[in-house]
Amino acid sequence: MDAVIELDALEVRFGARVILDRLTASLTGRSIGLLGPNGAGKSTLLNTVLGFHRPFGGTLRVLGRDVRTAAREIRSLIGYMPENDSFIASMSGVRFVRLMAELAGLPRAQALERAHEAFFYVGLGEVRYRALGTYSLGMKQAAKLAQAIAHGPKLLLLDEPTNGLDPPARARMIQLIQDIRARGDLQLVVSSHLLRDVEECCDQALILKEGRLAAFCNLEEERKANRRFLELETRGGSNGDFLAALEQIGCQTAAGAQGRIKLILPEELEVRRLYEIAGRENVQIRRLSHKRDSLEDIFLKAMEAPGGRL
């Protein structure tokens, strides 16, 4: 798959201060997570993609186009949901989204039609004629998403899309993002300081620390690997015999205290094979769980690594 965003030694400076320090990565996923603590450079990277900051060094290509020479064309292909509200409070929701679609290049009639469609898509159809200033926080976040998708972009940038939302509103926003990803007609970048948002919505994750690339991982491959990484709690029988039998069928094993076993299950084996062997060895499998929180592990290691690099 072609890279939606390609970074090659990208450097961005504000005066003498280095904000993004020689970032190199090729982002190809349908939905890419941008992670890092406050001040890591996430918003600066998004603003550079949008053409608001000019690279000091290196290159940045978006949808195959160089931001130095094709910034206007790139912006026409991007939908942007900013972290902070940028509304005209007295304007109705549908009128505001129509204005944003017109600014993105759609004719007036088409922009109005797409504004109505976008409002219904994000679940705000019944309040589209109300003034934006009367919207709740969750409704304002949904309206920001509506204006970002109304003109039919190829790339959608979401900056802290669940910021400040209560659990029901957050669940609705996550579901909308997952639905957009599943449609497959555009690619997403989700910038967040919340690991859970990226874990639930993204295929790849780019982790920044102090403007440097701390880690880059393919979450789909991590999930596949985790499905083969198991932890067992056992009772009875001989753990030594049980481990030997598991290793004979190709499992990699590590014994822990009190009947705990960690193992990697080969691709060709099903979990039920473990129970068959346990029954033969008179071992009870009291609990079986898959490895979890892999993104959290990667993130914590990235934050602990000196110099912001794994």
What pTM did the predictor assign? 0.78
**Whole-angstrom Cα distance, residue 140 to residue 118?**
13
The domains located in the chain, with CATH, are: 1-77+154-210 (3.40.50.300), 88-151 (no CATH), 225-290 (3.30.70)
Residues 6+ apart with CB under 8 A from 176: 121, 122, 123, 142, 145
Q: DSSP 3-state assignment of 129?
A: coil
φ/ψ bin of 175: left (φ > 0), alpha (ψ from -120 to 50), beta (otherwise): alpha
Q: DSSP 3-state assignment of 234?
A: strand
Q: DSSP 3-state assignment of 162?
A: coil
**Whole-angstrom Cα distance, residue 309 to residue 305?**
6
Q: Which residue has the tokens 């949904």?
A: 142
Residues 6+ apart with CB under 8 A from 243: 253, 255, 261
Q: pLDDT tens per residue, the chain (310 residues)?
A: 678 999 999 999 999 999 999 999 999 888 999 998 888 999 999 999 999 999 999 999 999 999 999 999 999 999 999 998 888 899 999 999 999 999 988 999 999 999 999 999 999 999 999 999 999 999 999 999 999 999 999 999 999 999 889 999 999 999 999 999 998 889 999 999 888 899 889 989 999 999 999 988 888 777 666 567 888 899 887 778 888 998 988 888 888 888 888 888 887 788 888 999 999 989 998 888 876 556 777 777 788 766 555 4
CA distances from 299 to 32, 36, 98, 208, 210 (A): 15, 8, 39, 9, 14
Beta-bridge partner residues of 232:
261, 288
